[in-house]
Amino acid sequence: MTQREGQNASGAESASPSDRPPASLVAARMLAPVTLFAAEKDIISLTAAGADLPSFERIAQQYVWQFCKSVPLLDITQTLRWNVPFVYPDAGTGTLVLLYKLAVIIPLIGAFLDYWRQQTE
């Protein structure tokens, strides 16, 4: 018996690569709740004293904004006149943003280089 195209070994429908969200969005969705939780527990600070915490959506936008800002040569955030969703005042939040960049951008560069090597062989 052969599997139908679009099914995995368990017989469930598998998503095609075009149906999957980009890695930057997946990572932002995973890190935004961690960031919000850390801010609610006063482990990190997302705002100046007395200001309300940013929403989950704004935190996720912050991570996507950071990803877009990291794309060399395209200057996406400037071209789209996309302002930073919020400015964080401490190094703890900056550490989470750096972890996001390392978790998303470095593997993405590796995947691009692998693709490039395959195309040039």
Comparing C-alpha atoms, which of 69, 61, 66 is closest to residue 94?
66
What tens digit of pLDDT does each residue of 66-99 get? Answer: 989 988 789 999 999 999 998 888 899 999 999 9
Domain count, the chain: 1
Comparing C-alpha atoms, which of 26, 44, 22, 39 is closest to residue 90?
44
Task: Let me know if residue 6 belongs to a domain.
Answer: no
Task: Let me know if residue 88 belongs to a domain.
Answer: yes
Name the stretches of the chain with pLDDT < 70.
1-21, 23-24, 48-50
Task: Let me know if residue 8 belongs to a domain.
Answer: no
Task: Let me know if residue 62 belongs to a domain.
Answer: yes
3-state secondary structure of 4: coil
Q: How many CB atoms lie within 10 A of CB 53?
A: 15
Residue range of the domain that includes 38? 25-42+52-120
Task: Let me know if residue 58 belongs to a domain.
Answer: yes
The amino acid at 11: G
